[in-house]
Amino acid sequence: KNQVEQSPQSLIILEGKNCTLQCNYTVSPFSNLRWYKQDTGRGPVSLTIMTFSENTKSNGRYTATLDADTKQSSLHITASQLSDSASYICVAHFGNEKLTFGTGTRLTIIP
């Protein structure tokens, strides 16, 4: 069964600190992996998209990594800001027109 699992389910960190969110996927055949940021009550916004041949991709303070062998991805946030408080969703694209969504990590940044 194609699945995407994210950890932790929720995370609280102090402003200015770094954090790393994890994503494990079991989809086949794998095409690409995406990270989205979703503010409460709003539509998700794409942060990164990586194909199986890409190991890392950055978008400002967000850096995603991908290990296609172990089927793991991580999203690292550097120097967190209050505006980073959101849900972060990992999404695996596989096969023909198929997307599997993780349930997300709820990140809260406190001053």
Distances 49 to 11, 15, 30, 53, 79 between C-alpha atoms, Å = 23, 26, 13, 11, 22
Residue 44 C-beta: closest distance to another protein, Å: 5
Q: What is the DSSP string of 80-107?
A: --GGG-EEEEEEEEETTTEEEE---EEE
* Least distance (Å) between residue 99 CB and another protein: 6
We find the least distance from the C-beta atom of residue 84 to another protein, in angstroms, to be 18
Shorter beta-carbon distance to another protein: residue 49 or 68: 49
- The residues of the shown chain that bind another protein, judged by CB under 8 A, are 31-32, 34, 41-46, 49, 89, 93, 96-99, 101-104
